[in-house]
């Protein structure tokens, strides 16, 4: 059995499924068309770098969302957890290492702040996991409640104001580059690498996929469903905290309302990447490709339409259109998303 599983996963790694091929083609197509439309602006190093900076936060949140979707749930509280963690980190740093702090103080404060904010993320995820896994409330309801609760807590702590002024070494996480590669992109790559290892190389990942594809079967094969749910949501909280820290470092401020539009975008990226909303199907490779194609699309359209007012709104239109287009017309390529028959096909029940 193990050999068969190993062999089949090796094959599936070598031969990407249809949807991933389709997404890769989309990425290439978008890049070629944008590059040929704006040869002087689009395929430049500085543009690629700025796209990489913009992608990372949404990308990390999308990975967190992907994990929650894979086990057959959803996590609507990712942005709220990110903001709450960022606010905690910012408060710890500004209180412990205000103006005139020595280098030693700053180091201690930063280390403590990072630790506390990651712990906040994990704790928030644990509350989600507890209510979903042990109590049995549907994930969409729990995370809808905790979305309000966590962002409310952030709002209450800060009284609705933004927290500014994090120490310079932290800013490096958000705006620094290493050999021209943006640090946020490096953090995102590490996150994807770890998440991918977790999903495809550990028993936890295997169990998570099992739980997502059939919770009943998973339970009867001895999988601890509540435990897996709990761990998945704790990881999702942890990743959200990382996203929050990156955004804190990039913008040098944290507030309770930041990036709330990222929530729906993270779902969009995951679904476009081939993650099934019913759970059990989806790969991180698809999510990354979807993220890259959406980022190129929005940057490209922003450049193309920059002389019209409200050009950034065209992005929402294009993203929504792309999502629906992929769902409708590339549907036969998206195995996991197949939920039924086309209306002109005969119904099985007749």
Partner 1 sequence: MSFVSSLVSESQQGGSMLRRIGRTHEIVIAACILVLSIAVGLLNPAYFSLGNLFDLLRNATTYGILAMGVLVVLISGGVDVSFPAIAAASSYIAVKILIASGFQGSAWIVYALAMPFGFAFGFLNATLIACFRLPALIVTLGTAGMIYGFVLFFVGNLVLYNLPAGLVKYGTASLATVEDATAGTSGLHPSVLLLVAAAAAVGILLKYTMAGRGVFALGGNREAAERSGFNIRRIEYGIYCLAGVLAAIAGVTQAALYRNANPAALMGAELEVIAAVVLGGASITGGRGTVTGTLLGLALITILKSSLVLIGIPSEWQKVAIGSALLIGTTVPAIRTRGQRRIPVSDEI
> 114 or 267, CB closer to partner 1?
267
The DSSP code sequence of 264-333 is HHHHHHHHHTT--TTSS---HHHHHHHHHHHHHHHHHHHHHTTTSTTHHHHHHHHHHHHHHHHHHHSGGG
> 271 or 289, CB closer to partner 1?
271
Minimum separation from the CB atom of position 340 to partner 1 (A): 3
> 111 or 140, CB closer to partner 1?
140
Within residues 215-234, the interface with partner 1 by CB under 8 A covers 215-216, 219, 225-226, 229
| Residue 258 half-sphere exposure toward CB, CA atoms < 13 A | 27
Q: Retrieve residue 73's tokens.
A: 């749930």
| Residue 250 half-sphere exposure toward CB, CA atoms < 13 A | 23
Among 30, 56, 268, 292, binds partner 1 (CB under 8 A): 268
180 conformational bin, left if phi > 0, alpha if psi -120 to 50, beta if neither:
left
Q: Retrieve residue 104's tokens.
A: 């030693």
Q: Any contact of residue 209 with partner 1 (CB under 8 A)?
A: no
Among 5, 95, 98, 313, binds partner 1 (CB under 8 A): 313
- Nearest of 291, 329, 296, 328 to residue 315 by alpha carbon: 296
d(CA 61, CA 237): 10
Among 192, 239, 271, 291, binds partner 1 (CB under 8 A): 271
Q: Any contact of residue 327 with partner 1 (CB under 8 A)?
A: yes
> 203 or 332, CB closer to partner 1?
332
Minimum separation from the CB atom of position 68 to partner 1 (A): 9
Given the rule CB under 8 A, which of 13-21, 72-80, 108-116, 201-209 is the region that contacts partner 1? 72-80
> 155 or 170, CB closer to partner 1?
155
Among 40, 45, 308, 346, binds partner 1 (CB under 8 A): 308
Q: Any contact of residue 136 with partner 1 (CB under 8 A)?
A: yes
Q: Any contact of residue 335 with partner 1 (CB under 8 A)?
A: no
Among 73, 167, 174, 274, binds partner 1 (CB under 8 A): 73
CA distances for 299 relative to 180, 292, 324, angstroms: 20, 11, 20
CB distance 284 to 66 below 8 Å:
yes
**Taking CA 57 as the corner, what is the angle to CA 55 and CA 60, rounded to the nearest 5 degrees?**
100
Given the rule CB under 8 A, which of 24-32, 81-89, 93-101, 262-270 is the region that contacts partner 1? 262-270
> 179 or 308, CB closer to partner 1?
308
Q: Retrieve residue 335's tokens.
A: 């195995």
Within residues 144-183, the interface with partner 1 by CB under 8 A covers 144-153, 155-156, 159-160
Among 61, 63, 74, 122, binds partner 1 (CB under 8 A): 74
Among 142, 167, 293, 302, binds partner 1 (CB under 8 A): 142
Q: CA end-to-end span of the chain, whole Å?
A: 39
Q: Any contact of residue 213 with partner 1 (CB under 8 A)?
A: no
Q: Any contact of residue 76 with partner 1 (CB under 8 A)?
A: yes
CA distances for 27 relative to 212, 270, 289, 316, angstroms: 28, 15, 7, 18
Among 46, 203, 332, 349, binds partner 1 (CB under 8 A): 349
d(CA 35, CA 300): 9
Within residues 45-64, the interface with partner 1 by CB under 8 A covers none
Among 28, 29, 194, 324, binds partner 1 (CB under 8 A): 324
Minimum separation from the CB atom of position 64 to partner 1 (A): 16
Task: Count residues near partner 1 (CB under 8 A).
Answer: 73
**Taking CA 211 as the corner, what is the angle to CA 277 and CA 19, rounded to the nearest 5 degrees?**
40
3-state secondary structure string across 10-31: HHHHHCCCHHHHHHHHHHHHHH
d(CA 187, CA 93): 21
């Amino acid at each position: 059995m193990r050999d068969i599983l190993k062999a089949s996963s090796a094959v599936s790694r070598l031969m990407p499924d249809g949807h991933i091929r389709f997404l890769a083609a989309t990425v290439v197509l978008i890049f070629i068309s944008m590059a040929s439309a704006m040869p002087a602006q689009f395929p430049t190093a500085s543009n690629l770098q700025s796209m990489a900076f913009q992608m990372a936060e949404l990308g990390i949140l999308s990975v967190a969302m992907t994990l929650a979707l894979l086990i057959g749930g959803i996590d609507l509280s990712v942005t709220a957890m990110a903001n709450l963690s960022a606010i905690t980190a910012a408060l710890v740093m500004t209180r412990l290492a205000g103006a005139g702090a020595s280098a030693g103080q700053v180091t201690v404060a930063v280390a403590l702040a990072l630790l506390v904010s990651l712990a906040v993320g994990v704790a928030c995820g644990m509350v989600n996991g507890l209510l979903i896994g042990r109590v049995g409330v549907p994930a969409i309801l729990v995370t809808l409640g905790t979305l309000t609760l966590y962002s409310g807590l952030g709002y209450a702590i800060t009284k609705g104001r933004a927290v500014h002024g994090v120490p310079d070494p932290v800013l490096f996480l958000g705006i620094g580059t290493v050999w021209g590669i943006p640090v946020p992109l490096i953090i995102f790559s590490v996150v994807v690498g770890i998440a991918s290892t977790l999903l495809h190389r550990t028993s936890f990942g295997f169990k998570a996929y099992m739980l997502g594809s059939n919770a009943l079967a998973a339970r009867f094969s001895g999988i601890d469903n509540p435990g897996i749910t709990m761990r998945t949501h704790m990881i999702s909280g942890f990743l959200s905290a990382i996203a929050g820290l990156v955004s804190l470092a990039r913008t040098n401020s944290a507030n309770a309302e930041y990036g709330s539009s990222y929530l729906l975008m993270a779902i969009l990226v995951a679904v476009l990447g081939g993650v099934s909303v019913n759970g059990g199907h989806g790969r991180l490779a698809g999510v990354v490709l979807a993220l890259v194609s959406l980022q190129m699309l929005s940057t490209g359209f922003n450049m193309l339409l920059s002389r019209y007012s409200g050009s950034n709104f065209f992005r929402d239109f294009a993203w929504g259109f792309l999502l629906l287009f992929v769902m409708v017309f590339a549907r036969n390529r998206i195995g996991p998303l197949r939920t039924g028959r086309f209306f002109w096909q005969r119904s099985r029940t007749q």
